[in-house]
Structure 1
């Protein structure tokens, strides 16, 4: 995400004597600033609600990929994690994200126009909300409330990635606790390294919309969780892999298309400015590259599965689109359309190759989030050094490694603590009968429930 050309004005004109001409030009400059403020804020808000709609995409994708006995649980987890992410990001996450810029964490300035530093503790949230409703100063270039909303939906996306990987064999409340820590601390810290002007930003690391900061952060947390929790019952028995089919391919397909739609907000609004012709043109180019990378990912997955398995795998075609989207997210502006297609296609192939590798390692990923978000996210981040001439390879590699180490270590600590205290997995009996009956009490498909 980059902050570009947001405020416009002419210091020379404003410095002229107080003539009628100078007054007229001052009015023009103020009107220009106001227009830029409005369009920048609208970009944040429109992009934000498109990314929020991705929550529905993740819910439908996961509901389609899990078995019928666990669909209600996946729906509930997605409802919960979006809501919890909003609360955690309000009270903690946004300030943590910008802590490098603010020098320390404070809990009132994060929504106040101009980021006024007045640490007053958690109670400051009420004052902050009031300030946001009262309006904002033009010197920010956009409504700070719109920035908070846009950043918050990115935070929720990170949690959604974890949900699908550990599906069908984790209890609700341990997952709730992990999401709270992920959205209040783990994701905001990683995002602060680049988008909060932290050390990765200082060394020239570039991640336009979050291939690493969002997607691989969620991917590392999911990978560590899958290892510590273990595979679903019956997945790996006698040294063999026993595939567990998805329950609803149409629903998973719908989820994929919702995510594809939401990605235009994810990448397009990460331009963070729409107040000039150049900015709007850049947003348009980002839309095209984003769309074509996903298309390249789909075709690559179809061709690969036909050649590799003799039949086309629709689940890999679905994830091929998502892998292409993740891969282009780190730099959707500078590549040509042809390069964007290639980036999406390679990201998709890497995801397809990772699926059997995980099975060999007996790492059970229900929806394929690790191949899609972690592997394609790493690739997309590293390839920026070749698609953006202003970015070097070493800063990209350092960013990938730093994210891997921090997220893996902190996530492992949290997962292990949950495992040894309240426990992560349901009983074997509950896992066999399904979490819809064992924990939710409302089956998604009651006609398939044995009385």
Structure 2
């Protein structure tokens, strides 16, 4: 009995010793962990101001790489926008016309690249300060002094050439299903090598309206969209409507291939154009430029939302149904409207600017039909109408733009683009002809 008690006592002592040892080690680890956690907090709190203040300017090499990468990304996004426009036009077109839509898109990219290389670039960027016309020269790569240029010359040329091609694509959308290929490609060459560079030089190249009238257009509401829309209007007037479009009273909508495909194309086009607009600021190598890019993205998306919702609400109110075409065109319209100045507006202002764009693309097509103006791709309301609106209203949130400068600048851009395009299309019509044969137009 005594032995059993001794054994039990000994076992209890052993268990207590073991348990105490485990508990002691657990307490030691908990204490050590708590101390480590406190040290991390103190170190982080003390180092946070140092991290926050360590925003030193990047090196010249880093700046060169980042800015060049932005331009290349903007050019690639422009290609994405072209693909989006092609899909949108394919969805709007009848089945037999879809190959011609794709062929025009590929062809216009090719001739735009050649003509912007041959004449376009120097017409845009070699204009005298406050002047009207640059030099007719062939562009060539020039990266001999990267420190002076701060970016790759090829990357800059690439991004600018794609913008010229986007303008030709806008005209292609408007004249879809009835224009001959080679006359259109001739116009696309004239657009990319002459019309667009001259217009853009007045603003982006340091020409007259930017220098003398303080006309501001960061993302191309007037320089790209309104001028291309004016060129599209001239082409439609000379070309005429599609066969049977206005044959029996009110306008007849031609059966489309696939409107969901058009919706997907619009999403691609708006995504691409958003990056193109951000790329036009030309830099992403500083804290300020990165923050500006973020502001551009936020305001552009808010304007797109405002345009799309306004178009959906208006069609539901007037026609008692929500129109898919108006909704997806309203999204593009909002982006075009905000593109003149996507930096200065507050978010509520961006939504209002985009919403008015959505109203424009909804009410303008019936008005055009009254005058038998057949715009197959809704280029006139989405690009001309919203481009003019965006360029005009950009003085509202901006402290640097003036109403008089915006009005004079957009009037000159639209007028020049319309008249030059009208002359070219009239000349083509009475020389080589511009319309496809009626049998090809209506064949199923």
Distance (Å, rounded) in 1 between the aligned partners of 2:134 and 2:255: 48
* 2:72 corresponds to 1:45: yes
The one-character-per-residue Cα deviations of 1:378-428 (angstroms, maximum 9, x if unpaired) are: 000000110212110011111111012211111111000000001111222
Aligned to 1:60: 87
State the Cα deviation string for residues 87-113 of structure 1 (Å, max 9, x = none).
Answer: 1111111011013148851535x4xxx
Structure 2 matches for 1:50-449, cutoff 5 A?
Answer: 50-101=77-128, 104-105=134-135, 107=137, 110=139, 128-129=140-141, 131-132=142-143, 136-202=145-211, 203-433=213-443
* Contact in 1 for aligned 2:58/2:285 (Cα 8 Å): no
Measure, in 1, the Cα distance between the counterparts of 2:370 and 2:57. 62
CA contact (8 A) 1:136 1:143 kept: no
Q: How many Å separate the matches in 1 of 2:353 and 2:163?
A: 22
* Unaligned residue ranges in structure 2 (runs of 5+): 1-55
**Aligned in 2, Cα 1:101/1:144: closer, same or farther, shift over 3 Å?**
farther
Farther-moved stretch of structure 1 (372-381 vs 144-153): 144-153
> Any idea what the Cα deviations from partners look like across 1:211-238, whole Å, max 9, x if unmatched?
0100011100100110111000111124
CA distance in 1, matches of 2:266, 2:57: 43
* CA apart distance, 1:146: 1.3
TM-score of the aligned structures, taking structure 1 as reference length:
0.83
* Whole-angstrom distance in 2 between the partners of 1:162 and 1:410: 14
Distance (whole Å) between structure 2 residues aligned to residue 33 and residue 143 of structure 1: 13
Aligned residue for 2:127, secondary structure, equals helix
TM-score for the superposition, normalised by structure 2: 0.84
How many angstroms apart in 1 are the aligned matches of 2:240 and 2:145? 49
**Residues 111-149 of structure 1, C-alpha deviations (whole Å, 9 max, x = no match):** xxxxxxxxxxxxxxxxx24x45xx642111211221111
Computed over aligned residues only, the root mean square deviation of the Cα atoms, in angstroms, reads: 1.6
Q: Alpha-carbon deviation of 1:84?
A: 1.3
Q: Distance in 1 between matches of 2:57 and 2:389?
A: 44
**Does structure 2 retain, via aligned residues, the 8 Å contact 1:263–1:290?**
no
Q: Distance in 2 between the 1:104 and 1:249 partners?
A: 42
Say which one has the larger Rg: 2
Distance 1:361 1:74 in 2: 25
Looking at structure 2, the residues matched to 68 and 387 of structure 1 have their Cα atoms a distance apart, in angstroms, of 45
Secondary structure, counterpart of 1:231 in structure 2:
coil
Q: In structure 2, what is the Cα distance between the partners aligned to 1:238 and 1:153? A: 41
In 2: Cα distance, 1:266 partner to 1:389 partner: 24
Provide closer, same or farther for how the CA distance between residues 277 and 179 of structure 1 changes in structure 2, counting only shifts above 3 A. Answer: same
> Where does the alignment leave 5 or more consecutive residues of structure 1 unmatched?
1-28, 111-127, 434-448
4+ residue runs of structure 1 moved beyond 4 angstroms?
101-104
